[in-house]
C-alpha cells in the first residue's frame, strides 16, 4: 500500500478496502509502521512502537478473512494509545520517569482490549503530558510533541501524541483521555476530530488516573465516523469500573446519516465568546452560518466552573501521587510536581466547595439541554 493511499483514507475506508480484499491488513499495518518510522520522529508522537505485535494481529485479521470468518467491525484499522493505557507486556509510563522500572501490564486496558477485539491493530504507545496533567505536551522526560502542521508549535495536551499521530497521518485513530480538555485541545490544535464521551460511558479500567471524578476515555480520528466507530466498540457497562454506567451500549454509527434536521442548535456566548483570537471566533461564525444557526445561549458562571475543575483536579491528582511526591519528588517533571504539590496544600473545604458548585453548575447545563440539543463553542482561545 502506498503512503499516499494510506494517508488519503480515513480508518473506516481502510477497513472497507481490507474487507473487500483490495488490500491486506498486513499491508495496511506495514504502511502505518513505515509512516511511524518516517514521520513519527519529526513530531515525537510515539514512546513505543509495537511492530511485532501489530504484524501478528494483522495476520490474524487476514487469516480470518481468508477462512471466511468475521474479523470484526474495525478489521485491520491501525490505532495507537496514549501511554497511560495498559498494554499487556508493556510498562505503562503515563509520561513519567517514575514508572520506568515498574512491572509491565498484565493485560490490556478495557478500551484497548475492546478495539483489538473489534479487529483494530495496535501500532504503539503515544507521548503525553506527565500523568495527563498539562495542555501543551512539553514532557521533560520524553520531549515535546510537535504540531504536525508547524513543528515550531505545540500539539496541545495532554493527549498531544494522540493528536499529532492522527494529524501527521501516522494512524487514522488514537486513544486519549480527557479530564479538562485533553482530547479536545490536541484535536483542535492538530486539526483532527476529537470525541469526549459522557462520563461513565467508556470503562477506564487499565487507564492511569489523573482525577477520578473528571477522567474520561476518548478518541481522536481522521473523521467523525472513525471516532464514532471507536466509541461504538468501546462503550457499555463494565462491572470492574465503579463509575461506568449500567446503561446498555447504543450504537451511534447508524444515526450519523440522519443530518441535523430537527436539532436545536445554539452558539454559546458569555464566557465562551471572550478572550480568544479573532480567527477562532471567525471559525465558529462560519460553522454556525453553514448550519443556519442564529440562536445564542449562555451558561451562567462558566468561568467559575473552570476554577472549580482546576481545584478538583489538583486535589484528586495530588492524592493519587502523594507517596511519590514524598519519596521521589526529583523524578517528576518539575511543572507536574509543582502542580501536584499545590494541590496537596489546598484545604479540604475548598475541594468540598468546588464539588458543591459543580453539582449546581451541572444542573444549569442540564436545564439548558432541555431547550437545545447542540452547543457550538471554540475549543481553545487560539
Which residues are catalytically annotated? 82, 158, 182
Which helix (H) or strand (E) segment holds residue 282: the answer is helix 278-290
Give dist(CA 228, CA 224) in Å, integer: 6
Residue 248's closest CA among 235, 239, 229, 258?
235
Residues 6+ apart with CB under 8 A from 309: 180, 214, 354, 358
Is 235 in contact with 202 (CB distance < 8 Å)?
yes
Burial label, 256 (beta-carbon count in 10 A; 0-12, 13-18, 19+): exposed
Cross-strand bridge partners of residue 90:
87
Residue 58's closest CA among 84, 30, 37, 86?
30
Cross-strand bridge partners of residue 46:
126
Give dist(CA 242, CA 251) in Å, integer: 22
Please report the DSSP string for 236-265 in residue order.
S--TTSTTS--SPP---GGGGGG-STT--E
Sign of CA pseudo-dihedral 37, 40, 44, 49: negative
Q: What are phi and psi of 70, to 5 degrees?
A: -75, 120
The C-alpha cell 479538562 sits at: 180
Amino acid at each position: 500500500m502506498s503512503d499516499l493511499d494510506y494517508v488519503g483514507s480515513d480508518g473506516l475506508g481502510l477497513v472497507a478496502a481490507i474487507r473487500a480484499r483490495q488490500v491486506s491488513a498486513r499491508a495496511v499495518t506495514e504502511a502505518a509502521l513505515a509512516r511511524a518510522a518516517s514521520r513519527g520522529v519529526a513530531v515525537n508522537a510515539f514512546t513505543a512502537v509495537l511492530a511485532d505485535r501489530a504484524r501478528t494481529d494483522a495476520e490474524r485479521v487476514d487469516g480470518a478473512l481468508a477462512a471466511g470468518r468475521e474479523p470484526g467491525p474495525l478489521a485491520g484499522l491501525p490505532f495507537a494509545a496514549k501511554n497511560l493505557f495498559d498494554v499487556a507486556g508493556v510498562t505503562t509510563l503515563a509520561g513519567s520517569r517514575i514508572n520506568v522500572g515498574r512491572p509491565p501490564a498484565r493485560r490490556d486496558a478495557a478500551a484497548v482490549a475492546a478495539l483489538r477485539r473489534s479487529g483494530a491493530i495496535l501500532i504503539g504507545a503515544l507521548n503525553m503530558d506527565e500523568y495527563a496533567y498539562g495542555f501543551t505536551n512539553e514532557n521533560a522526560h520524553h520531549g515535546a510533541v510537535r504540531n504536525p502542521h508547524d513543528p515550531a508549535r505545540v500539539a496541545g495536551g495532554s493527549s498531544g501524541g494522540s493528536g499529532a499521530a492522527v494529524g501527521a497521518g501516522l494512524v487514522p485513530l488514537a486513544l486519549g483521555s480527557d479530564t479538562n480538555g485533553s482530547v479536545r485541545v490536541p484535536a483542535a490544535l492538530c486539526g483532527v476530530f476529537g470525541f469526549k464521551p459522557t462520563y461513565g460511558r467508556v470503562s477506564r479500567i487499565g487507564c492511569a488516573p489523573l482525577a477520578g471524578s473528571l477522567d474520561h476515555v476518548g478518541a481522536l480520528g481522521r473523521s467523525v465516523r472513525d471516532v464514532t466507530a471507536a466509541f461504538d466498540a468501546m462503550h457499555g457497562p463494565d462491572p470492574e469500573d465503579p463509575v461506568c454506567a449500567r446503561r446498555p451500549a447504543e450504537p451511534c454509527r447508524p444515526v450519523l446519516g440522519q443530518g441535523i434536521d430537527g436539532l436545536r442548535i445554539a452558539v454559546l456566548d458569555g464566557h465562551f465568546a471572550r478572550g480568544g483570537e479573532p480567527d477562532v471566533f471567525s471559525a465558529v461564525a462560519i460553522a454556525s452560518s453553514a448550519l443556519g444557526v442564529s440562536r445564542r445561549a449562555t451558561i451562567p458562571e462558566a468561568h467559575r466552573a473552570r476554577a472549580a475543575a482546576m481545584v478538583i483536579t489538583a486535589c484528586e491528582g495530588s492524592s493519587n501521587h502523594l507517596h511519590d511526591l514524598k519519596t521521589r519528588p526529583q523524578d517528576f517533571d518539575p511543572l507536574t510536581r509543582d502542580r501536584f504539590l499545590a494541590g496537596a496544600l489546598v484545604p479540604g473545604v475548598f475541594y468540598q466547595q468546588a464539588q458543591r458548585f459543580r453539582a449546581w453548575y451541572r444542573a444549569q447545563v442540564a436545564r439548558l439541554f432541555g431547550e437545545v440539543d447542540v452547543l457550538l463553542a471554540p475549543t481553545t482561545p487560539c
